Amino acid sequence: MKNFGYVKAFSSSEAVHLLDGATATKFIGGGTNLVDLMRENIERPDQLIDVTSLRDREIQETNDGRITIGAAVSNSAVAANDLIRRRFPLLSQAILFGASGQIRNMATVGGNLMQRTRCYYFYDEASRCNKRTKDAGCDAVHGFNRMHAILGCSPSCIATHPSDMCVALSALDATVEIEGRHRQRSIPFTDFHRLAGDTPQIETELQEGELITSVTIPSLEAAQNSVYRKVRDRSSYAFALVSIAAALEIRNGTITTARLALGGVAHKPWRAFAAERILEGSPAIDEVFRRAADATLEGAQGFEHNAFKIELARRLIVSTMSELAQKGGLS
């Protein structure tokens, strides 16, 4: 690993003002992804600004029922939080389905949003990767692509976003709160991560010099009947082949609210808006769930080793909806 300067910030405004624009600088949280990428020479910052001590916000409930989670709060602390477990059980579950106990203790919420793909070709300096080097080509498209994307693919990059937590936050219509040197702003979670397009190196809407300060989740009654499911190659401590975060509210047999997002299928957490439009206002029956699944997978593209994900995602949607319909129909 090349050497670098290190400085610790104690407030978000101090952190953004430490950036001078000239030095290649990265913010570091738990370091569970960044340190690994630096060791592999994929990330080569000249300076790190430690933002793990910006704990001023923690997890708070606002008067209008929204919940704000500080960016430096650990993944474990979010999963363990009583408010989160009671109000958004799918978020607590999603986090617990990711990584390992040790990594969840280190990893921060902000860092989880900023983690980079686990595509093997991105990690391997000897491979061609458009994300690492502009216009270098992509060795995943014709390589071993079992873990790769099936939705929103681009010829330049078929990497997936590896987070579980972000799939739940996408389904929950969260917003990302951001601070820059001159302004603060919010970005809807579903817009925060980008599809690869022809600029796979640009993964989020975060601009140079901006820092994530918190994530806000609006109140959602439907989250009382919600679940996170994950299909993977081993039963624990593995990235998703396909995962789903879903919430369903049913009144008198009719779906009044549906929230659905998929993980492991695209360059970003994939919010299934088309499925939600079909589900809401329809009866909670398998035929409707199948139509919602078909609408989600319309336009899906399989590669040599991952075409199975299309049918897998379809079945995961239908079975998860059925499960939630049974639970929600009884309450």
Give, in order, the Cα–Cα distances in Å from 177 to each of 32, 49, 64: 22, 19, 17
Q: Name beta bridge partners: 108.
A: 74
Residue type for position 224: Q
Q: How far is the CB of 37 from other proteins (least distance, A)?
A: 10
Q: How far is the CB of 33 from other proteins (least distance, A)?
A: 8
Q: How far is the CB of 290 from other proteins (least distance, A)?
A: 28
Q: How far is the CB of 38 from other proteins (least distance, A)?
A: 8
Long-range contacts of 98-102 (CB under 8 A, 24+ apart): 98/163, 98/164, 98/165, 99/32, 99/75, 99/237, 100/237, 101/76
Which secondary structure element, helix H or strand E, spans residue 63, and what is its range? none
**Interface residue list for other proteins (CB under 8 A):** 1-8, 28, 30-32, 35-36, 38-39, 48, 50, 52, 76, 79-80, 85-86, 89, 92-93, 96-97, 99-103, 105-106, 236-237
Give, in order, the Cα–Cα distances in Å from 67 to each of 64, 214, 215, 247, 310: 9, 10, 8, 17, 34
Residue among 59 and 288 whose Cβ is closer to other proteins: 59
Residue among 84 and 293 whose Cβ is closer to other proteins: 84
Q: How far is the CB of 85 from other proteins (least distance, A)?
A: 5
Q: How far is the CB of 36 from other proteins (least distance, A)?
A: 5
Residue among 239 and 289 whose Cβ is closer to other proteins: 239
Residue among 103 and 310 whose Cβ is closer to other proteins: 103
Which secondary structure element, helix H or strand E, spans residue 227, and what is its range? strand 226-231
Other beta carbons within 10 angstroms of residue 134's beta carbon come to 11
Residue among 107 and 262 whose Cβ is closer to other proteins: 107
Evaluate whether 269 touches 167 at the Cβ level (below 8 Å).
yes
Residue among 30 and 200 whose Cβ is closer to other proteins: 30
Q: How far is the CB of 154 from other proteins (least distance, A)?
A: 28
Evaluate whether 89 touches 223 at the Cβ level (below 8 Å).
yes
Residue among 245 and 288 whose Cβ is closer to other proteins: 245
Evaluate whether 325 touches 252 at the Cβ level (below 8 Å).
no
Helix or strand or coil: residue 17?
A: helix
